[in-house]
Amino acid sequence: KWVNREISNFDYLIQLNTMAGRTYNDLAQYPVFPWILRDYTSEELDLNNPAVFRDLSKPIGVVNEKNAKTVKDKYIYLFRYENFEDPLGIIDKFHYGTHYSNAAGVMHYLIRVEPFTTLHIQLQSGRFDCADRQFHSIPATWQALMDNPNDVKELIPEFFYFPEFLENQNGFNLGQLQISKEVVNDVVLPKWAHSPEDFIYKHRKALESEYVSAHLHEWIDLIFGYKQRGPAAVEALNVFY
């Protein structure tokens, strides 16, 4: 159905997540969606320009080419280290010590809506985490991914249908950023989005674009397919702890 374009990219990803055992009922196995854009600074979003899209054939940790060497070197280092320290090879080598989808990441994105607010506070021993570590800006979140090969969070489905998670409708006191002293409130949007609803509309349009339709299978290979494990995963820099 997907190949024949009888169902949307969104529907296909939801069904793949479900068949993979992912569910909204388990934060540790929450549905995972890809970052699909890399342009969060332009005044207008041109979906006819391939340059605005993320390379879906690479794990998010190495979409920025300069991070690829860091990740490869770490893998080689682990190989040397473990051969000396762990001759039984109980712990397999890995490129990333964290994961593209976990409970803390889901709470990170959904901190402004219940029950995730309360779950986040429980995780942080009864208070909100430091403002600088919170999800406060989509452009800044993307830039952090590009700068830090240890941050490999993909997205959640809400980025494509749920504008409310981008607004602090409950008026939570999320603190202020250390350097700029900016108060963390609603999520800062890309310049090309004029409101949370506009962001969701354009982001969903990007997901259903011709470019993503032609390349989505490359990301699916990494997350749900043959590049998850074994030699193909090593070659793709896609091995997780």
Question: pTM, whole model, 2 decimals?
Answer: 0.91
| CB 38, CB 192: distance < 8 Å | no
What CATH number did the domain enclosing 35 receive? Answer: 1.10.1540.10
96 is written with which tokens? 């990333």
The angle at the Cα of 134, spanning 131 to 136, to the nearest 5 degrees, equals 95
Asked whether residue 228 is domain-assigned, the answer is: yes
Structural domain that includes position 121: 2-236
The number of residues in the chain equals 241
Q: How many domains does the chain have?
A: 1
85 is written with which tokens? 């320290």
Taking only the tens of pLDDT, the chain with its 241 residues reads 999 999 999 999 999 999 999 999 999 999 999 999 999 999 999 999 999 999 999 999 888 777 777 777 766 666 544 444 455 666 778 888 889 999 999 999 999 999 999 999 999 999 999 999 999 999 999 999 998 878 899 999 999 999 999 999 999 999 999 889 899 999 999 999 999 999 999 999 999 999 999 999 999 999 999 999 999 998 998 988 8
| CB 175, CB 135: distance < 8 Å | no
**What would the DSSP string read from start to end of 76-104?**
HHHHHHHHHH-TT--SPP-SBSS-SS-HH
DSSP one-letter code for 188: B
Asked whether residue 241 is domain-assigned, the answer is: no
Asked whether residue 104 is domain-assigned, the answer is: yes
